[in-house]
A = this chain, B = another copy of it.
């Protein structure tokens, strides 16, 4: 039997494998032998189980030792730049990683240390502008390829699991509007409006006037043009400014998918802004990715995709409401809806690979595929949650009697 033959039968000849193959085998055993297969640069295969969900090809010894130094960041980096290739089900692979991640007190401690060593980027007025620009201003044409017609870049709401993406985004906007019990003539202020879909939808379908704030320049331009084209430019004002500069009184305050970028240190101020905006008679809604317990965002996502981002636990979200004595009326967790939304985005993204390649490069495509796949895994494993929180002032007794109106 020559060397080439031996490489064809690695499972039977483990003892003849390289030092690195044996190291990987031991590491996998330590983590309970997840269903991964590794193929090394020298052809060595390590596959502790017969049912691997994905095969991870490591291109060089240097790559292996590089990723072992800080796996949470460097595996995804190596995947992005092609030094690691993954065949098979990327979502299932990340799900296994999340399912095997430490979740007890030890995990929390490790995560706290990690947060101390790698604090998220600060969201000062200037810092927020830089952090937001990094992600949201990379090109409206790019996002238009895979976000669907609404360009809503937040968790959709599926009245039934088989609803199509665009319909589910519209259903989400209606769900939010019903939760805010909007009436014709109401005024609404929105903090962080994305490409402006929700403000537009409110003005078109609920007879309200909306003032919407956002600091991502490309999004502001896009939203203004869309509102003009839809003929509601007089009822939606898109303002390129920070939510902290919201002034005046409104019947409703709404923020969908901005809190992730606000930063814990600013929650109390956000609450003051919202409380001031709605006064004693208004109501508010904050929709955000969250957690079951405090923990920092996956460090690769924070570093490469969303600088300054942090998904709060509910106890942390309460720092928004409690100092201002806002009354939390309703919290809904729709994490499985976000897994579905992301799945539909990923399908569209994959179907648009050629166009994305023409705009960026292969590294960008792989990076975004990792981000979307990893996010699906995070929501299906309960690593991330999606909270919608409805609130009002303590003295507001005109709150709805039940939540029945949301489901009629």
Contact = CB atoms under 8 A, between A and B. Distances in A.
A299 interface: no
Contact of A333 (B313, B318, B330): B330
Contacts of A332: 329-330, 403
Interface in A197-249: none
Interface in A371-408: 380-383, 385, 393-397, 399, 401-404, 406-408
Contacts of A399: 336
A331 interface: yes
A326 interface: yes
Given A99-B395, A322-B294, A327 B401 contact: no
A140 to B, nearest CB: 31
Contact of A293 (B105, B322, B397, B402): B322
A318 B315 contact: yes
Nearest to A387: B328
A158 B401 contact: yes
A158 B332 CA distance: 21
A361 to B, nearest CB: 36
Chain B CB count within 10 A is highest, among A159, A161, A331, A406, for: A331
Contacts of A334: 402
Nearest to A380: B397
A160 interface: yes
Copies per complex?
2
B159 A402 contact: yes
Given A158-B401, A382-B327, A404-B159, A321 B333 contact: no
A139 interface: no
Contact of A313 (B158, B322, B331, B403): B322
A109 interface: no
Contacts of A355: none
Given A323-B293, A336-B401, A395 B407 contact: no
Nearest to A383: B394
Contact of A325 (B293, B323, B330): B293
Contacts of A7: none
A292 interface: yes
B401 A161 contact: yes
Nearest to A382: B394
A141 to B, nearest CB: 34
B318 A314 contact: yes
Contacts of A394: 103, 292, 381-383
A292 B327 contact: yes
B321 A292 contact: yes
B319 A315 contact: yes
Nearest to A340: B401
A46 B385 CA distance: 57
A114 B161 CA distance: 51
Nearest to A318: B315
B327 A330 contact: no
Interface of A: 99, 103, 105, 157-161, 292-294, 313-315, 318-319, 321-323, 325-336, 380-383, 385, 393-397, 399, 401-404, 406-408
Top 9 A-B pairs, shortest CB-CB distance:
A382-B394, A331-B331, A315-B318, A293-B322, A407-B407, A329-B333, A292-B325, A315-B315, A292-B327
9 contacts: A105-B323, A159-B404, A314-B315, A314-B321, A314-B322, A315-B319, A328-B331, A334-B402, A404-B407
Given A315-B315, A328-B385, A330-B333, 4 more contacts: A292-B325, A330-B331, A380-B397, A382-B394
